[in-house]
Structure 1
Amino acid sequence: MQVRFFGGLSVSWGADEGAVPGRGQQALLLRLAVDAGTTVGYRALADDVWPADPPEDPRAALQSLASRLRRALPDGVLTSVPGGYRLDLSRDAVDITRFQDLVVAARRDGDPALARDALALWTGDPWVPHDGFDWLVRDLWQDRGHAERLATQAPTPTPHTTVVPAAIAGLVGRAAELAAIRDRLGTDRLVTVIGPGGAGKTTLAVETVRAAADALIVELAPAAPGEVWAALAGAVGHGIRLNETAATVPLTPRERVLDAVAGRDVVVLLDNCEHVIREAAEVAQALLLGTPGLRILATSREPLGVVGEAFVDLGPLPALDADELFARRVRSARGTPPSPEEHATAERIVQRLDGLPLAIELAAARARTLTLAEIDAGLSDRFALLAHGPRLSPGRHRTLRALIDWSWDTLTDDERVALRASSVFPDGIGSGDSDAIAETFGVDATVFDALVDRSLLVRRDGRFRLLETVREYGLDRLRAEGAEAEFRERAADVLTALATEREGTMRGPGLRAGLAWFDANEENLSSALRTRTTGADRRPGRRLLRALLWAWAVRERVEELRPALAAFADPDAPVDDEPSVVIESMALFSDAFPEPGGTPTYDPAVFAERRATLQEAAQRHPSEISALVGPLLRLAQVVLESAEGGFERAWHVDLTDAEIAAAPPWSRATMHMLRAGAAVNAGDTAVLGVESERALRVFTEVGDPWGTGIASQLWAEWLMLVGRLEEALEVTDRALEVVLGLTSISDLLQQRAQAVGILLRLDRIPEARARSAEMQEIATADGSVRALTQARMAAAQVDLAVGDGAAALRSAERISLEPGFPEQILAWASTLRA
């Protein structure tokens, strides 16, 4: 298969030529073609397919686009993989990527013939589906400029007088960073390449000065404090002739260096400055002030801090380049690159090593004696696995541990505490939480920024994060010191305090911000909860679980709630605080509603006794949640008693007006909503109307989107029952906007199905059919049985409304009702079939 974008979009395979309809599919094809043969993540795809107006659910929209694009291409070309999609083509099969690769090769080898081959592919201006790909167009035109300059040159090597070490292995990737360094050196006199250990700073710096007419390479790694000028003086004779016309002979290393560079346009490379950073900065400043034509290229794990310093940040290798580096080094080690069957393992190894070139090189070298699967498994103790590097490498590059030890040795005591503390936060640390976390560990919050400067922490999207290798190093340090349990306990303490504070803002307008915080700290909180399961005292764990409850309830994370309640509930413990009241009450409520196939743990008599105890405790420890303990447990007791009488479910909420009036506003609205929900199940239209209207009014006043959405659905149901259909549709659509991003896909589709039903009753068939089709797309993207059931039931309703019984039956027969579906859904599905 060949894909062409120069001069227009063209897709062909064999004698066939295909058409890709629609800008969305075309944009997806182009973005995947740019990285042909490698996985492109969902976020990167969404950013480029919809640069200005992303859809509400980008992943679902991508799945829909990919499904349609797959039908336009040969089988197996577009594949779905964990985390994204891949276009299974070689880069030579796509004209723009072949063009870019030829230009890179031409520039690397100084080969005009390759440049002319690249230009031959340019049969017309590059085609793009929209302006969001202007970055690609700019890159292609820039490459064309390079190719045109090379194509007119004779292939003679440029002579260099500088003595620069020859490269033993070819450079993989880093073309953009190399160009950035050269660009900065053209405009700035001091450029520092900053990045973590093992990122390849030295390699790029040496590659840069290779093109300089005069260069001085100074390796500072062996230098101790006070020896930087001496290191420069020792290097002077290697790269630059001494000034033989000087009136006096320079005596000190400083004088010797300044005399040697005087009047010359020279590039000085100061390599590995981090351990002598202050002295290196002073030397750099003296050189710049004393020699106008001199430029300095420095490599360091932190900035020098000199006025006018420009930076090029060197992070991990991009995934494609990292995979290529690993493949090349594996081939060097064992004679063959990773086989197709090993590709997934190879990609996982590279990802686990954070794309750091040195770590990748060390891991690939082990392929001489280990399989890739064994290397992957060995990364669980990566410092033991990667403990043998090339014999002649510098000591700091010979093992993975030594690589980070080099940085560790330069840290202050507080920075070492902060690095180890960061290692017990797998999600990283939010910048807004850094003050509280720093205080918990006895350091100042500015220490996190200091670690960013030292290339040990990365600040991204408002969070401080460790590379996985550095995180493992921090944990390894803690284990060696016997301090891991203490640090994890401190992390659990501060996360409990932060989560409790956030939870208190989430029953109102702060819900979305609160959920964003809980989502961003999901792994941190799970780790803290696991820490709390190890102690004999369950109260700290109950406090943390209590802080998590509301976020989990809104996100419908029931599968996590049941085991957590089982771990921390203790019916024999005193209920002497609000978290204990809430946790014990939730555990009792959960027992009344077992998982599908289960039976209630308590008999009604035991349940009634425990309910009374908890209800009394809730009154002693009032809160918005504990105010609901009584009504919810009384409801559960009714369910238990009805089961004893032979009824599967009998809903009734025992709530007095006085109890509702005494509750806080949010709790009061929830109680009205419980009454409305019970009225729906009882068929009490009058109560449904009164209570749903009251719930909606109070939730709106409180500003709570979750409650507003559910109360709106109940209110719209009453409006439908009394024939006020236009109002019902308006309320339903407004509720959909309010709850977007809060509820599960299944619940969202339930509300959309309600809108479809209203449109059918209004005889607005085309709109109902369109919304039903949207539901099917969303459900297909989600893939859950419940979502697909909602969509197929809505489709059957539409087909029935237009009298197409055959189509309706096909939709109804595709409904798969798994165990645990509510009985009313089972009945409704059977009604549709009938």
Structure 2
Amino acid sequence: MPAASRGILSGPGYDPGPTPTRPANASRPRVDTVRVRFFGGLAVSSGGDGAGGGAGDVHVVPGRGQQALLLRLAVDAGTTVGYRALAEDVWGLDGPDDPRAALQSLVSRLRRSLPPGVVASDPGGYRLALSRDDVDITRFQDLVARARATADPALAREALALWTGEVWTPSDGFDWLVRDLLEDRGHAERLAAIPTEPTPAPTASATTAPAPAPAAPTPVVSLGALIGRTDELHAIRERLETDRLVTVLGPGGAGKTTLAVETARAVADSIVVELAPAAAADVWTAIAGAVGRRIRLPDTGGATVSAADRVAEAVTGRRVVIVLDNCEHVIREAAEAALHLLGISPGVRVLAASREPLGIPGEAFVDLGPLPTTDAETLFATRVRSARGRVPDDDERATAGRIVRRLDGLPLAIELAAARARTLTLAEIDAGLDDRFALLSNGPRLSSERHRTLRALIDWSWDTLTEGERIALRVAAVFPDGIGTADAPAVAATFDADADAFDALVDRSLLTRREGRFRMLETVREYGLDRLRGEGTERAFRARAADVLTDLAAAHEARSRGPGLRDALAWFDANDENLAAALRTRADAADRPGGVRLLRTLFWPWAVRERSDDLRRGIATFAAPDAPLDDEPSVVLEAVALFAAAFPEPGRTSTLPPASFAARRARLEDAATRHPSEITALVAPLLRLAETVLHSDEGEAVRTWHVDVTDAELDEAPPWTRAILHALRAGAAQNAGDMDALGVESARALEMFERLGDAWGTGFASQLRSEWLVLADRLDEALAVIDRSGAAIRGLTSVPDLLQQEAQAVGILLRLGRLPAARERAAAIDRAAAADGSVRALAQARMTATHVEIADGDGAAALSEIDRVGLEGQPGIPDQFLAWVDALRAQALLLQDRPDDARAALRRGLARAVESRDHPIIATVLVTVAGWNAAEGRSERAAEAFSRAHAVRGAADERDPFAVWVRARMARTGAEVTPAPVRGIRSALADVDAATLLALLD
């Protein structure tokens, strides 16, 4: 409650004294026959017989201000409420400059709406001159207080009879009052359910109460897997509409995670971050992992980008709710992460589930206490029916109600107790609770008490388990992601257990089985881990879990290159936290061989998902350059580590001397031949590629990279590896401007990947093949290839990556002159980007729209679109992408006849393009440089820039819309553009550096 005077309200600690319906100042003058009602709507009446019967006058109180003032005075009817308390509750933080004067005016208007004398002026404030009996909500509270003090069910039923509808309040500001009343209602419902006769008959008041003891089987009220909690769900959703940080607070086992996930499902864009398995240092890793499963980030070009920056790039510009679940054990780090997330973008909201507040200013709360009696009884009846096939019958209903009351309405406790109905009667369950819940009589107020209570409950359930079931429970405790039902036999065998024990634990509600996984409630998991620690076996159990996860991961990884890729990635996604925990187990035990084996299984799935941060972290932990290369996993890991060393972050050069690199490369190439696999077959060519990058830093190479693959290596490689090598050759040929090689290699790679059924490889090769088909002026074929590629990679990649391929199709349509079709697809890209909301998706949509407007010759519209891209300053955006934006901006400016501004954009774009060493992008910028020279009447320089662009690319992109515009401008001066012959490419490229190219703008 915001106002200090609210201590007057009745509640758990309220003692009304011997005559609670008469306040201390009851001797003051009052109006006898006025009644104020808030249950079921606001109503003020006067006259009648003064006892609630007979006709009377109805008084309308208009306006939110008068209504709020009346409600605040009614809360403390008969008692003077101070000016400050009234102002705080009527206006909140947006109060008037002179609250006392504003109150005086508001009181004056309210008095005109009510009978004379109802609102009285007292020193220091105002008073509603009515008895608490004259106001239904205060009478309700007093009756509940008396019922609790005397344990009188009749008084509780009398109070519930007053609750004729939902509590009326103004639009906002009185949620504290509703919470207090609902709490009192819960107490009243529990008391009202106590029978006053051996075989009680329903009374009139009981039948009109909102939640009486049922006379028939309680109907199941569910929301998905949730029973009850509709008010809390509604409250969470309301808070998320008005507050950017909402924390669901409550004891363990109260259902915080369930509510958080249910809330996330109802949000258009949400990401659930499971922090339960995370250590303090791994909070951002957990957040990035959750984001990475939804949003594939662009290649960072070897740069070291923090998990926080990757998350920032993913969520900036989105309207997204990020759920941080199970924060309590890393509360400080979770609070810092939440604060950082909220600072990234105004569209980000955070929903935390925790046993304690995060402690951040502006944090809104939804308290999750015991279930209301009706929902708790429904939950118990439903679980009893699941356990034995029928709900409690008439003879058992009183016992069921007593069990629920003794369990204090905590969902976890109810689930565990009801599960025993399979083998015990309800009377036996009730008797079994005698020595288990002494602490519940004090109320679950302190976290330590809640923990002891839940532990006692699970201890009681533990006592009933067989030895096999006890092993299964402890096993499940070390799998934070749960255990897939298909994996359960292998997991059980590793622990010398019976897989059927997991199903037995489902029957006992110690595990749940949903979406193909055995999952464990948080508190039960804590109990299992405590058992392991007490026995001194936690390390051994975690080591065995890492063993079986490594074996399972290896089997799924072997299927990830080919038609099994989608299923394999789904397995790795579902076990992400399990695998992370297993890696930590290997690291904590200094088990390098085990860590290498496990990291090897993660290499390709992480490569497809572009989880370079996780891979670098794993390499830093387990790589050892001097270790023996005596198995395939060691060869792969050390090769990846050496390859990464050739790609330092932007602005830095590698610290690894070329001679050292060459020596390690030779050692790894030799080991790769001794341990052949689809991956080790890539070691030699990829390390040779990396070595060219090292030499390029010394000025020995003019290209970013190239791939040298011998015919023998191709002949000996497995089919998937051969397809990868052909694709790498195609990429190298594209960057080298060797169109003949690009055509041959891209065709081979695409045909092989399609034959293998590898969707990722098909998408990779399709882009390269489509590029060649465009340059070969086979545009219809290019469009068909890129459209098939989009279908192949859908669901494997992020929305931005998919939109990139869609944008490639738009470019082909523009070259075909099919402007309406291009606009239609660009509009579809825009809709998909808006739904995704990420920076990269929105940027791709804007750039695609810019391309369309340039093709249409509308410079103003193109410039408007490119101005909305907004990539400057964003983390992880490579230079070539920014250079492309600069080129498009310059093209739009040239269409507007603004050559000076275009020149400035081109100087920036050329520098970025050369720095990136991405020669197709350099060619695009050079075509734009040709356009600038043509616009300035510099035909010779325009021809030179055009020729350089053709030479860099290896062919002329004749039907590129802007290239068509440039040739038209040059034709006005009689200049012609003759593409450089392929055989002259290498000499023509010798001068591709920043100084040479920038001279074209001088």
In the TM superposition, 1:406-555 aligns within 5 A as: 406-555=460-609
In the TM superposition, 1:323-472 aligns within 5 A as: 365-366=444-445, 384-387=448-451, 399-472=453-526
1:716 touches 1:732 (CA, 8 Å); kept in 2? yes
Amino acid at match of 1:209: R
1:509 touches 1:705 (CA, 8 Å); kept in 2? yes
Q: Is 1:43 matched with 2:265?
A: yes
Amino acid at match of 1:825: F
SS in 1 for 2:888: helix
Matched with 1:308 is: none
Unaligned runs of 5+ in 2: 1-62, 65-229, 238-261, 270-292, 297-315, 321-345, 353-369, 407-415, 891-1002
1:733 touches 1:755 (CA, 8 Å); kept in 2? yes
Measure the CA separation in 2 of the matches of 1:596 and 1:752: 29
Q: How many residues align?
A: 541
Deviation track 1:537-565 (CA, whole Å, cap 9, x = no partner) reads: 41110100000111101111112111111
Matched with 2:881 is: 825
Per the alignment, do residues 446 and 829 of structure 1 end up closer, same or farther by CA in structure 2, a change over 3 Å counting? Answer: same
Amino acid at match of 1:472: E
Per the alignment, do residues 812 and 220 of structure 1 end up closer, same or farther by CA in structure 2, a change over 3 Å counting? Answer: closer
Amino acid at match of 1:583: L
Per the alignment, do residues 521 and 408 of structure 1 end up closer, same or farther by CA in structure 2, a change over 3 Å counting? Answer: same
Unaligned runs of 5+ in 1: 1-12, 15-31, 48-56, 68-77, 85-167, 194-203, 223-270, 285-295, 303-357, 368-374, 376-383, 389-398
Matched with 1:578 is: 632
Alpha-carbon offset, residue 363 of structure 1: 11
Per the alignment, do residues 832 and 433 of structure 1 end up closer, same or farther by CA in structure 2, a change over 3 Å counting? Answer: same
Per the alignment, do residues 769 and 657 of structure 1 end up closer, same or farther by CA in structure 2, a change over 3 Å counting? Answer: same
2:380 touches 2:418 (CA, 8 Å); kept in 1? no
Amino acid at match of 1:486: A
Matched with 1:171 is: 373
Measure the CA separation in 1 of the matches of 2:803 and 2:724: 22
Larger Rg: 2
SS in 2 for 1:713: helix
1:414 touches 1:447 (CA, 8 Å); kept in 2? yes
Alpha-carbon offset, residue 752 of structure 1: 1.4
Measure the CA separation in 1 of the matches of 2:442 and 2:677: 55
1:552 touches 1:561 (CA, 8 Å); kept in 2? yes
Alpha-carbon offset, residue 181 of structure 1: 8.9
Alpha-carbon offset, residue 584 of structure 1: 0.3
In the TM superposition, 1:50-199 aligns within 5 A as: 81-82=349-350, 171=373, 173=375, 177=379, 191-192=389-390
Q: TM-score, normalised by structure 2?
A: 0.49
Deviation track 1:766-816 (CA, whole Å, cap 9, x = no partner) reads: 322232233334334444443333222212111111122122123323331
2:807 touches 2:844 (CA, 8 Å); kept in 1? yes
Amino acid at match of 1:173: D
Measure the CA separation in 2 of the matches of 1:401 and 1:658: 65
Q: Is 1:750 matched with 2:804?
A: yes
SS in 2 for 1:458: strand
1:192 touches 1:299 (CA, 8 Å); kept in 2? no
Match among 705, 714, 719 for residue 665 of structure 1: 719
Alpha-carbon offset, residue 747 of structure 1: 2.2
Matched with 1:209 is: 397
Match among 738, 760, 776 for residue 706 of structure 1: 760
Amino acid at match of 1:465: R
Measure the CA separation in 2 of the matches of 1:364 and 1:730: 68
Q: Is 1:805 matched with 2:993?
A: no
Matched with 1:379 is: none
Alpha-carbon offset, residue 827 of structure 1: 2.6
2:733 touches 2:741 (CA, 8 Å); kept in 1? yes
Per the alignment, do residues 784 and 558 of structure 1 end up closer, same or farther by CA in structure 2, a change over 3 Å counting? Answer: farther
Measure the CA separation in 1 of the matches of 2:642 and 2:565: 26
SS in 2 for 1:623: coil
Measure the CA separation in 2 of the matches of 1:613 and 1:819: 37
Matched with 1:355 is: none
SS in 2 for 1:589: helix
Alpha-carbon offset, residue 218 of structure 1: 10
Matched with 2:931 is: none
Per the alignment, do residues 719 and 416 of structure 1 end up closer, same or farther by CA in structure 2, a change over 3 Å counting? Answer: same
Measure the CA separation in 2 of the matches of 1:811 and 1:498: 49
Alpha-carbon offset, residue 33 of structure 1: 12
Alpha-carbon offset, residue 472 of structure 1: 0.9
Deviation track 1:312-360 (CA, whole Å, cap 9, x = no partner) reads: xxxxxxxxxxxxxxxxxxxxxxxxxxxxxxxxxxxxxxxxxxxxxx999
Measure the CA separation in 1 of the matches of 2:383 and 2:502: 27
Deviation track 1:164-201 (CA, whole Å, cap 9, x = no partner) reads: xxxx995153586588699x79xx9x7556xxxxxxxx
Identical-residue share of aligned pairs (%): 55
1:221 touches 1:273 (CA, 8 Å); kept in 2? no
Per the alignment, do residues 527 and 206 of structure 1 end up closer, same or farther by CA in structure 2, a change over 3 Å counting? Answer: farther
Measure the CA separation in 2 of the matches of 1:169 and 1:272: 15
Matched with 1:734 is: 788
Deviation track 1:102-127 (CA, whole Å, cap 9, x = no partner) reads: xxxxxxxxxxxxxxxxxxxxxxxxxx
Q: Is 1:655 matched with 2:655?
A: no
Measure the CA separation in 2 of the matches of 1:508 and 1:363: 60
Structure with the bigger RCO (C-alpha within 8 Å, sep 6+) is 2
Match among 567, 570, 578 for residue 621 of structure 2: 567
Per the alignment, do residues 571 and 208 of structure 1 end up closer, same or farther by CA in structure 2, a change over 3 Å counting? Answer: same
SS in 2 for 1:808: helix
Deviation track 1:649-673 (CA, whole Å, cap 9, x = no partner) reads: 6221111222111110000000000
1:427 touches 1:524 (CA, 8 Å); kept in 2? yes
Aligned-CA RMSD value: 4.2
Alpha-carbon offset, residue 81 of structure 1: 4.2
SS in 2 for 1:718: helix
Amino acid at match of 1:366: R
Per the alignment, do residues 298 and 45 of structure 1 end up closer, same or farther by CA in structure 2, a change over 3 Å counting? Answer: farther
SS in 1 for 2:840: helix
1:475 touches 1:484 (CA, 8 Å); kept in 2? yes
Measure the CA separation in 2 of the matches of 1:755 and 1:217: 65
1:362 touches 1:386 (CA, 8 Å); kept in 2? no
Per the alignment, do residues 401 and 36 of structure 1 end up closer, same or farther by CA in structure 2, a change over 3 Å counting? Answer: closer
Per the alignment, do residues 783 and 592 of structure 1 end up closer, same or farther by CA in structure 2, a change over 3 Å counting? Answer: farther
1:458 touches 1:465 (CA, 8 Å); kept in 2? yes
SS in 2 for 1:432: coil
Q: Is 1:688 matched with 2:742?
A: yes
Q: TM-score, normalised by structure 1?
A: 0.59
Match among 849, 854, 869 for residue 795 of structure 1: 849
1:669 touches 1:699 (CA, 8 Å); kept in 2? yes
Amino acid at match of 2:725: M
SS in 1 for 2:513: strand
Per the alignment, do residues 598 and 563 of structure 1 end up closer, same or farther by CA in structure 2, a change over 3 Å counting? Answer: farther
Matched with 1:349 is: none
Measure the CA separation in 1 of the matches of 2:596 and 2:430: 46
